Structure 1
Amino acid sequence: MSNSGPPPEKKQRKETLMSSELGKFLDKKVRVKFQGGREATGVLKGYDQLLNLVLDGTVEHIQDPEDPFKITAETRSLGLVICRGTAVVLICPFDSMEQIANPFIQQEQTI
């Protein structure tokens, strides 16, 4: 008989670590990326161990209809939302977020 998961004490420590890390962003503005390319910004009001999130004052960043993984400058207000944890791909603080050029895509050179 084999045990398929980590020892209970290790699993509990991992959940506690995740909770304390995300807890630093309570009542702060965060940007959340979801599977399928959707993105939203809002104030983190709560979360659980499954990464379900409660965001207040949420604004969705509209996707480009031609390329669903490209975000346009257009937004829409959603207000208070509950985000399903299984769809969350990334959570980052809004204040310290900075977009950089993708180093894996060759930039067009002008001659």
Structure 2
Amino acid sequence: MADRSQHRGGRGGGRGGENRGGRGGRGNDRGGRGGASAGERPKKENILDLGKYMDKRIVVKFTGGREDDEGNTSSRSLGLVVARGTLLVLVSPVDGSEEIANPFMQTEE
């Protein structure tokens, strides 16, 4: 009974030698992932150049349809905002843009 763990796949039962990694590992001591090292990766490029919006008022839309209430005229200055993932839908400057009517909406005749 003392050697039963070897037959049932118990921990440390000596099955397969020393270089077999646990849980289906390859058995060698390379560590980490294969492929290029961290120093060889190309630098990630920004999708959007946010430098042109520095010190300017902007409108930001997020997914989910949450918007500010109509008639709210108060605003505040935010120093740094981090918007991660696919939450961001639109970034546009307040100056030089205006809201127009929906040209695709069918009017009743």
**TM-score, normalization by structure 2:** 0.46
- Select the structure that is richer in strand: 1
